Amino acid sequence: MIEIKNIDLIDNNTRISNLLDAQRSEHFFIEVQNQSFSYALYEDGLYQGGITGNIHAKELHISLLALHTTSRGKGYGQKLIQVVEDFALHSDCHTLTVTTQSFQAKPFYEKQGFQVFGQLEDVPFAGTTRYYLVKRLKNQKNK
C-alpha cells in the first residue's frame, strides 16, 4: 500500500538530501559536503541583522540576508558577505549563489561581485522580478 504523509520538514529534508547525495556519489564518486551557516551582526550589543545559508558540494548558497533599516548603508552587509566568502574559501567552495527580488538588493550583490545568471519576471507576484546571482571564487585550491 502506498501512502503520502505530511511529515516533519527537517526530517524529510534530511532524508531527501541523503537520497540525493547517494545518487550524486554514484555518478561522480565524491563525498558531498553539506553544512549550514548562520552569522549575526551586532553593534554595541544590539542585533542589527544576519546572514544564513548552506554549503552543498562546492557551492555556498546564501538563503537569507537582512539588516535593520537603520543599519543599512554602513557597510554591514558587505561585512557579512565577506565573512561568508571567507568561510566559502576555507570550505573549498567554487561559487556563491543567492536570489533576490527587484525591490530588494540586486545592486548591492552586484557591487559585491555577483552577476545575474537568470531572472523570472512576475515572480512571486506581478510587477516584480526574481534574480538569480552567482559569484565565482578565486581560490588556490580550486584553480
Q: Enumerate domains of the chain plus CATH numbers.
A: 29-142 (3.40.630.30)
Q: Sort residue 11 into left (φ over 0), alpha (ψ -120 to 50) or beta.
A: alpha
pLDDT digits (tens, 9 = 90+) for 16-38: 888 887 887 777 766 667 789 99
Q: Give the span between the Cα atoms of 51 and 42, in whole angstroms.
A: 12
3-state secondary structure of 113: coil
Residue 137 dihedral angles phi and psi, to the nearest 5° = -95, 145
Residues β-bridged to residue 116: 133
Predicted local confidence at residue 23, as pLDDT: 83
DSSP character at residue 79: H
pLDDT digits (tens, 9 = 90+) for 76-130: 999 999 999 999 999 999 999 999 999 999 999 999 999 999 999 999 999 999 9
Closest CA to 89 of 134, 142, 23: 142
pLDDT digits (tens, 9 = 90+) for 48-83: 999 999 998 889 999 999 999 999 999 999 999 999
